[in-house]
Chain A
Amino acid sequence: MNTAKIAAAATAAAAARAGDNSSLAFDVEKVRKDFPILSQEVYGKPLVYLDSGASAQKPRQVIDAMSGAYETYYANVHRGVHYMSQRSTEQYEASRAKIATFLNARSENEIVFTGSATEAINLVAHAYGRTFLKEGDEIILSHMEHHANIVPWQLLRDDIGIVLRVVPVDDDGNLMFEEYEKLLSPKTKLVAMTHISNALGTIVPIADVIRRAHEIGAKVLVDGCQAVPHMSVDVQALDADFYVFAPHKVYGPTGIGVLYGREELLNAMPPWQGGGDMIESVSFEKTTFQKAPLRFEAGTPAIVEAIGLGAAIDYVSALGMENIAAHEEGLLHYATQKLSAVDGLQIIGQAREKAAIVSFVMACAHPHDIGTIVDRAGVAIRTGHHCAEPVMQRYDVAATARASFGLYSTREEVDVLADAIGFVREMFG
């Protein structure tokens, strides 16, 4: 080894120990080159995209897989005998198999493609809720659910007379587990809970939540929208009954959602939408339905989006979910440290276990004014109630500003955010 190489290796090792961007396991600068959108400027400033919790950017591999499908083999799936339909069907189903492996499902029959994660929850509320729940049964939610995991259950409540119970969160944003245990009763038939709070970043001890629910015979639906991009998820180890995620937050396309469900549960549920592709045979007297997952995929599905999602799963799998999680954890600590040091800035959500989401408010400025000002510094953050109004009410704020990090985020970007926040203080302070 020559001197230059030794020096480089020593620097890399030091960087790895310090947990900075150029760690050996995960080279963020190399990763960033895969995302064409990140190299641009906005308002003459390099784009600093800190809104991955709302939707993540897409790597070249996903974009290419999708345009490649349109350019070379696109056709409808499950229908034709011709070459293109066969290839499209193979790729569409290959994506399903990749997701099954990625989540460690027992079989690809447990993976249903929907129009969005929201639609996946609505599917369960309709097909499972209206079949297996009855008046007086209880569903337990947490206080930090996204509206998508509240409103479908309220619609079900108004329809069939079930009761919703809500587990409180403490001042730091931790789920109050003992309160959850108190709510569990023979009336509890379903627990619908987030794995990671989108507004607070709290990682819920979901395996424990599921274990306690199962002890009393209740089923559990997990909203994994914020978890799947940030950590490795094993539905068998968790023992989840339903697990939902949003592909567009995992560097895949919009227009598609994923529902994992235990095969026997899915096959016990009636269809919720009727149409083509979900039937075995149709006559005007009687129609029989496909088994899961096709039973729940009426109509032409999001074919190319499913193929793009397959490419996204390949992409994050190749990087390694553990490496991604470690990189993001480093960013979380760095950002928390840096932002906590700002006078008059309060971080909302300081749970013991957190994902790379930092929600904050400032004494001197409203979140929307913060958002507008940092935007002009090239920094994209989310401002508002994050579709989680009950959480906002819990912490007595109308809105927060939220920086959420992805696998391509860097410490330098945190620094740019901190500088822009400094300017907010200068202007409003």
Chain B
Amino acid sequence: MLDDLRELYQEVILDHGKNPRNFRRPDTFSREAVGNNPMCGDALVIYLSLDENQIITDVAFQGKGCAISMASASMMTEVLKGMSADQAEGLFKAFHAMCTGDDDAPEALDGYDEETIERLRMLAGVRQFPMRVKCATLAWHTMDAAVNGNQEISTE
């Protein structure tokens, strides 16, 4: 029991869950999107600032949810800063594959730095808990919607 749980609820994740980083509404931003998980009641808003070259200059969020969804959103904001919108979307696809499949290092991760990959890997422990995958991916789905100019998404 403990091993699986400890793998999911690692200290880093508990810390991000309790003290989420970039938990704010920026004064200025270029994109925002709302993400809802109607089955749990989790809800968050992602704020993205993209410069003229489609580089993410700032990313922040606000919302309410479980430790997994808050930690995932918090860690996502830390890794996305400085990436291009295309890179962010590529990372979303890779992360999604990690959470739903068995592949710890999908090819899609080629080209991302090791620290980023390591952070995502921590959250990928959620694959042992299929009911919780949506918690880990909610922020990423919402970010993807923001990049694509959709204002609201819902995961079920």
Contacts and interface: CB of A to CB of B under 8 A. Distances in A.
Interface of A: 43-45, 365-369, 372-373, 376-377, 383-385, 389, 392, 398-399, 427-428
B68 interface: yes
A interface SS class: mixed
A376 B41 contact: no
Contact of B5 (A389, A398, A427): A427
A384 to B, nearest CB: 6
B7 to A, nearest CB: 11
Contacts, number: 52
Interface of B: 1, 4-5, 8-9, 14, 39-43, 64-68, 129, 131-132, 135
A384 B134 CA distance: 14
Contacts of A389: 41
B68 A384 contact: no
Given A366-B66, A366-B67, A427-B9, A385 B41 contact: yes
A365 B67 contact: yes
A377 B42 contact: no
Contact of A368 (B4, B5, B14, B40): B40
Given A385-B41, A398-B41, A398-B42, A368 B135 contact: yes
Nearest to B8: A372
Contacts of B40: 368, 383-385, 398-399
B64 A398 contact: yes
Given A372-B5, A376-B4, 9 more contacts: A43-B1, A365-B67, A368-B65, A369-B67, A369-B68, A384-B39, A384-B41, A385-B40, A385-B41
A390 to B, nearest CB: 12
A376 B7 CA distance: 13
Nearest to A399: B41
Given A373-B5, A377-B1, A427-B5, A392 B41 contact: yes
A215 B12 CA distance: 62
B1 A368 contact: no
Contacts of B67: 365-366, 369, 428
11 contacts: A43-B1, A368-B132, A368-B135, A369-B9, A373-B5, A373-B9, A384-B41, A389-B41, A398-B65, A427-B9, A428-B67
Nearest to A367: B66
A372 B129 contact: yes
A427 B132 contact: no
Contacts of A365: 67
Contacts of A372: 5, 8, 129, 131-132
B1 to A, nearest CB: 4
Contacts of A398: 40-43, 64-65
Contacts of B9: 369, 373, 427-428
Contacts of B131: 372
A300 to B, nearest CB: 31
Please indicate which of the listed interface residues B9, B14, B41, B131 has the most CB atoms of chain A within 10 Å of its own CB: B41
A369 B17 CA distance: 11
Please indicate which of the listed interface residues A372, A384, A389, A428 has the most CB atoms of chain B within 10 Å of its own CB: A372
Contacts of B64: 398
B50 to A, nearest CB: 30
Please indicate which of the listed interface residues A367, A369, A373 has the most CB atoms of chain B within 10 Å of its own CB: A369
